[in-house]
Each structure stands twice: as structure tokens, then as C-alpha cells.
Amino acid sequence: MGFIKRNYGWIIVTILSILPMLILAKMIQVDWDNGLSLSLVENIGKGGRTTLDMMYHVSGEFAIRWLTAVLTCTPFFILFGVNNLFVRQAMGIAASIWSILHFVIFIVMEGFLETFTQVNYIAGFIAVLLLIPLLITSNRKSMKRLKTKWKKLQKYAYVIIILSLFHVALLEKTWIIYAVVVGIGFIIRIPEVKERLIALRLKRKK
């Protein structure tokens, strides 16, 4: 019980990030008759999309959602005074895994060389590359070992979300929602705005 109390936030994020995997699992058929073989379930895509294209779309949606969620942690702390570093780490891990999965599905669909044929693909590829070191260092041992360098490394998250929004902007209109959320978050981070919001929050508590 003590472990659950200390890590309840991390556990909740982990469950929320894994549950959508069930959507992708339904698109894969496992055959044990002639040894283990995997195949895609046909005609599961919506709007004329193939099953693989649907998997690509779903993984991309959850990748950008988790990336946006990570960037809202600091504004949430400024507004409400609630902060949990390890919940943010869990969100970062979820964002990284979904982004890498999204890229792997893209490679299966189009091939690796297709990555360099369009600007939005290149932006997405760079974002995934930057996510890898963040994923590897998203643990307590890395925090202690890297110390101040760890915080500097985590700042690449800002570059990643900008690249990701650019990637999505050239593909779908839904990017506006994420851009607005991230944009408000950046405004709240402005030192003058941040100080006023924190002062207002503390004043309300009195």
C-alpha cells in the first residue's frame, strides 16, 4: 500500500497510456495454428482508411496528446500549486513510446527513406530522435547522475512539441487545439505572468 500511495500518480498515467494500446491490439490478429504469426485485421479502418493507416492515425493522436499533456504540467503547477515530477516523467515516457510507435508504423507503411521526402516528416523524425535521450534519462538514477544537466536536457521538450505541432499542422486541422493549449502554457511561463499568477494563488489561500 505504501508503494501505491507514493506512486499513485505514476500508476494512473501508466494505465491511461496503456489502455489505448487495446485499440491497436484489436487491429492485429494472432495466429497460433502454424506457429506464431501476426496479421492485420482487414476492413477495420474508418473513412476509407486501411487498418495500417488507422494504426498510424491513432498512434499519432495519442503521441501529440501526451506531448501536450507534458507541457501543461508546469502551467498547472503555476495555477494550482500542484506539482509531481514523477507524474511528469511518466507522461514523458508515454509521449515517447507513442511517438516512437507512430514512427515505426510509418516506416512499415512507407519505408524509412520516405521520412526525408517531406518537411513535416523530417520535423517528426527530428522530434522522435530528440525524444530518445529524454526517454532513456526519465528515471531517478539519471536525475541524480546528471543533476543540473538533466534539467537542461529536459528543455528539449519545448523543441519537440514545436516540431510535433508543425508536423501535425501540415496533416490535420486538429493541431489548432493543441497549439492553443501549448501557447497558453508558454504565456503562463512568462516570468511577469508567472509571478502575478502565483501571487494571486497565494493570496486566495489566505
Per-residue model confidence (pLDDT) at position 3: 60
pLDDT higher than 70, residue 189: yes
Q: How many domains does the chain have?
A: 1
What would the pLDDT profile of 116-126 be if each residue is shown by its tens digit?
999 989 999 99
The structure's pTM equals: 0.85
What would the pLDDT profile of 125-171 be if each residue is shown by its tens digit?
999 999 999 889 887 788 888 888 888 888 888 899 999 988 888 77
Three cell numbers written together for 168: 501535425
Per-residue model confidence (pLDDT) at position 99: 94
Distance from chain centroid for Cα 103: 13
In a 10 Å sphere around its CB, with 0-12 CB exposed, 13-18 middle and 19+ buried, how is residue 9 labelled? middle
Residue 163 CB partners (closer than 8 Å, separation 6+): 123, 124, 126, 127, 130
Q: Higher pLDDT residue, 136 or 51? A: 136
Three cell numbers written together for 84: 509531481
Identify the weakest region by mean pLDDT among 49-53, 70-74, 134-138: 49-53
Q: How many CA atoms lie within 13 A of 180 on its CB side?
A: 5
Per-residue model confidence (pLDDT) at position 95: 92
Q: Of 108, 194, 123, nearest to 160 (Cα)?
A: 123
Per-residue model confidence (pLDDT) at position 198: 87
Phi then psi dihedrals of residue 35, to 5 deg = 85, 175
Q: Calculate mean pLDDT across residues 35-56.
A: 74
Residue 181 CB partners (closer than 8 Å, separation 6+): 68, 71, 72
Q: Of 80, 96, 99, 79, nearest to 88 (Cα)?
A: 96
pLDDT higher than 80, residue 172: no
Look up the domain containing 42 and give its range. Answer: 2-205
Three cell numbers written together for 196: 502575478
